[in-house]
Structure 1
Amino acid sequence: MKQEVIELDGAIGGGQVLRSALSLSMLTGKTLRIHNIRARRARPGLLRQHLTAVQAAAQISGARVLGAELGSRALTFEPGPIRGGDYRFAIGTAGSCTLVLQTLLPALLQAPQPSRVSISGGTHNPLAPPVDFLQQAWLPPLRRMGARVELQLLRHGFVPAGGGELEAFIQPSTLQPLHLEQRGAVLGRRAWALSAGLPAHVAERELQRVAQRLDLPAEHLSSVHLEEQCGPGNVLLLAFACEHLTEVFSGFGQSSQRAESVADGAIDQARDWLDSGAAVAEHLADQLLLPMALAGGGSFTTPRMSEHLQSNIRVIEAFLPVRIDCSAHAHKGLRVEVFTSASLNGLSAQADH
């Protein structure tokens, strides 16, 4: 029987359009044809981390692929049955391990066997969620939805050296709807700075800035100095543990950027979310949308519509029988709700076509 084909214009967003489409192609068994991949980015087409995601997705689903090469702006991905197992993927650069994992995880939750996945490359990258974000902000809501996943950071890896590694253990799981409309009271706040191969004063100045602007006491601040071969690299992380979820914000050090500026970037993100009254901050919002769609329902409030959220809605609605409604929140911000027009419990059966 001929597979259904989903045609996508990658120009509606960046790499996330490709990653979500790969996940959904594997889960539904529908062939993906995507063109204009990352067309509006400074370096369009497939970079190393995107190519690794394609190759990894092909391996776990036995897919036939056309266009899987560096710089490619068009791709055809024809998946087979999803297979659990023991997988190792090396990006070969400091490309983001976490983004590759997020591509594979929804499909592996539907695999007939458990999986262990090791990915090497960058673990703390600008423009990608650091491992800490996945561990503390993203995976806890997924576990509440029924996902059985454990994630370990084995080695840190920064841009440009890479060399980091993470390992995930994934059990076959059925997702249930989740509603995150309120964050609840803030129960705890902390900040920590990671640095490798850099002077100690860099982390100290970042944490001093956090203490000043967020009024955090010294016992909620810490610095971690990693082995020099992990660097050079630096990231500041802020975590807010609330009644119903935890949010994590990050700022990444760059060679020409002052430590205070790195801290300000993370602090401004956190303050924007705190002031909004919304449950879920901008980055977590678009990353929860796909699991909620696979669960057949869910909702959350978030400060605003982002490009990633908007493009993810379009990709999900192209593949799945769901409707995603966005409306003004009672106070301010956005309420996002996922409705299903048909049962999604047969996804794994479809993927086993």
Structure 2
Amino acid sequence: MSVSVSKDYIFEGSNCFRIRIMLSILSGKPIMIVKIRVREEEPGLLESEVSFLKLIVKSTNGSTFIIDETGTQVTFKPGLLHGGHIEHDCGLQKSISYFLQPLIILAPFCKVPIEATLTGITNDQLDVSIDALRQSTIPLVSKLISVWEKTDIELTVVSRGMPPNGGGKVFFKCPIRNTIKPINLLKPGKIKRIRGLALATRVAPNIANRMIDAAKGLLLKFIPDVYIHSDHLKGKNSGNSPGFGLSLVAETNEGIHFTGEAYSNPSGSDKGPSLPEDVAQEAVFCLFEEIYRGGCVSSINQSLVCLYMALGQPDVSKVEFGPLSPFTVQLLKHMRQILQIAFKLEVKDKSEEDERDEDLRKGSEKIMATCVGIGFSNLSKTII
């Protein structure tokens, strides 16, 4: 099979792999990625990237990809987003979130509502955890695509899977939409409460309690409404490896969610065993950093909001972000190249109070992002 690819859609290197595949599907334009890790000891695509391509093929109708003999070049021809029942083993190289984040973004544009069951690693130190997606991303998607019934969109952890051997299982479902409405998120609000989940699998039950006590000792100095619930799993729901961690979410009075999390070193790691108190402190500090960055969108959801702004109806969308993450910056560059849409980015004017505390606030500049949507329509949506 030969696929004709325009020279404008030939990319080099392994960076932004998922971004390129997502934008290829949404634009309907075939892409080619060349020179993938050609200078590394093990050149070519990783197992996780091949697995991601297989998941995309399962989620669409007509998508195909060709990998050359060396594995350093891949040609992807997009099909139509279909959805439906999907089962996929994500392997042990990357966590389930690596696969689930793009799936969450694409899900509303499927032909039929997606119901995906993914297995692998649910919580690790490399990728966003399933809990962060469940506590922050899912409520945001519900708001942006106007989900009225909570049962219509769901992200459930059936069983936990910690590295290195995984064993986790996650179920995700999402309704479909014809179009995305313009987005306006301009008021982050003030933190009103903090919730959390201390999880422990195949370790002593008091590990979770030690993390809760350590985290509360820091959080209660700033806000009284703190509740962290423990989740100690054993048996078939605890996966194949021991581990523990803490996931925190801070909610503002405007319904904005900021997340922070930390997890123990994998079993057999060169770093040695982790202490529950250290993991709790790291999670709290990560949450503080997210709150300090500010804006109306947590850093893990910036790319989702930017993409929905671009795909929205042909009207003005305006969102206040904190400092943009490297992933978001690359997404904006690729959207300009593939979707031919550009964002207007302005540093928000500082107030007199901000100027007095300029040294304290350095590095937390707020970005006002504005764009006019391209009016993307879900042509695959079944008309009822």
Q: Return the TM-score normalized by structure 1.
A: 0.85
Find the counterpart in structure 1 of residue 310 from structure 2: 293
State the SS of the aligned residue for 2:374: coil
> How many residues get paired?
343
Residues 100, 277 of structure 1: CA spacing in aligned structure 2 closer, same or farther, 3 A cutoff?
closer
Deviation, structure 1 residue 347: 6.0
Find the counterpart in structure 2 of residue 337 from structure 1: 369
Equivalent residue letter for 2:336? E
Find the counterpart in structure 2 of residue 95 from structure 1: 94
More divergent stretch after superposition (139-148 vs 116-125): 139-148
Equivalent residue letter for 2:11? L
Deviation, structure 1 residue 217: 6.1
Q: Distance in 2 between matches of 1:221 and 1:40?
A: 46
State the SS of the aligned residue for 1:241: strand
Find the counterpart in structure 2 of residue 181 from structure 1: 186
8 Å Cα contact 2:250-2:259 kept in structure 1: yes
Q: Distance in 2 between matches of 1:147 and 1:162?
A: 34
State the SS of the aligned residue for 2:10: strand
1:239 aligns with 2:243: no
Give % identity. Answer: 22
1:158 aligns with 2:175: no
8 Å Cα contact 2:244-2:264 kept in structure 1: yes
Q: Distance in 1 between matches of 2:39 and 2:230?
A: 37
Residues 222, 146 of structure 1: CA spacing in aligned structure 2 closer, same or farther, 3 A cutoff?
closer
Q: Distance in 2 between matches of 1:7 and 1:137?
A: 34
8 Å Cα contact 2:192-2:225 kept in structure 1: no
Equivalent residue letter for 1:21? R
Deviation, structure 1 residue 218: 9.6
Equivalent residue letter for 1:195? A
1:198 aligns with 2:203: yes
Pick aligned residue for 1:225 from 232, 256, 260: 232
Residues 10, 329 of structure 1: CA spacing in aligned structure 2 closer, same or farther, 3 A cutoff?
farther
Equivalent residue letter for 2:332? I
Residues 218, 343 of structure 1: CA spacing in aligned structure 2 closer, same or farther, 3 A cutoff?
closer
Equivalent residue letter for 2:204? P
1:249 aligns with 2:271: no
Q: Which one has a bigger Cα radius of gyration? A: 2
Find the counterpart in structure 1 of residue 322 from structure 2: 303
Equivalent residue letter for 1:339? C
8 Å Cα contact 1:22-1:103 kept in structure 2: no
Q: Distance in 2 between matches of 1:298 and 1:265?
A: 35
8 Å Cα contact 1:95-1:162 kept in structure 2: no
Q: Distance in 2 between matches of 1:137 and 1:128?
A: 15
State the SS of the aligned residue for 2:33: strand
Structure 1 regions of 5+ residues with no counterpart? none
Residues 139, 36 of structure 1: CA spacing in aligned structure 2 closer, same or farther, 3 A cutoff?
farther
State the SS of the aligned residue for 2:99: helix
- Cα deviation code 1:61-98 (max 9, x no counterpart): 422211289x9443210112222322111123263222
Q: CA RMSD in A?
A: 3.0
State the SS of the aligned residue for 1:272: helix
Residues 39, 199 of structure 1: CA spacing in aligned structure 2 closer, same or farther, 3 A cutoff?
farther
Residues 293, 130 of structure 1: CA spacing in aligned structure 2 closer, same or farther, 3 A cutoff?
same
Equivalent residue letter for 1:238? L
Deviation, structure 1 residue 200: 3.3
Q: Distance in 2 between matches of 1:266 and 1:40?
A: 36
Deviation, structure 1 residue 119: 1.1
8 Å Cα contact 1:53-1:103 kept in structure 2: no
Find the counterpart in structure 1 of residue 106 from structure 2: 107
Find the counterpart in structure 2 of residue 324 from structure 1: 343
More divergent stretch after superposition (127-136 vs 99-108): 99-108
Equivalent residue letter for 1:223? S
Taking the TM superposition and a 5 Å limit, the aligned residue runs for 1:62-77 are: 62-67=62-67, 72-77=71-76
8 Å Cα contact 1:179-1:300 kept in structure 2: yes
Deviation, structure 1 residue 45: 4.8
State the SS of the aligned residue for 1:193: strand
Find the counterpart in structure 2 of residue 259 from structure 1: 276
1:278 aligns with 2:285: no
- Cα deviation code 1:144-199 (max 9, x no counterpart): 22165332222211111211111222322122222223221222112321011123
Find the counterpart in structure 2 of residue 120 from structure 1: 119
Deviation, structure 1 residue 294: 2.1
Deviation, structure 1 residue 202: 3.0
Q: Distance in 2 between matches of 1:291 and 1:40?
A: 35
Residues 185, 260 of structure 1: CA spacing in aligned structure 2 closer, same or farther, 3 A cutoff?
same
Find the counterpart in structure 1 of residue 269 from structure 2: none
Find the counterpart in structure 2 of residue 9 from structure 1: 12
Q: Distance in 1 between matches of 2:297 and 2:158?
A: 28
Q: Distance in 2 between matches of 1:74 and 1:170?
A: 33
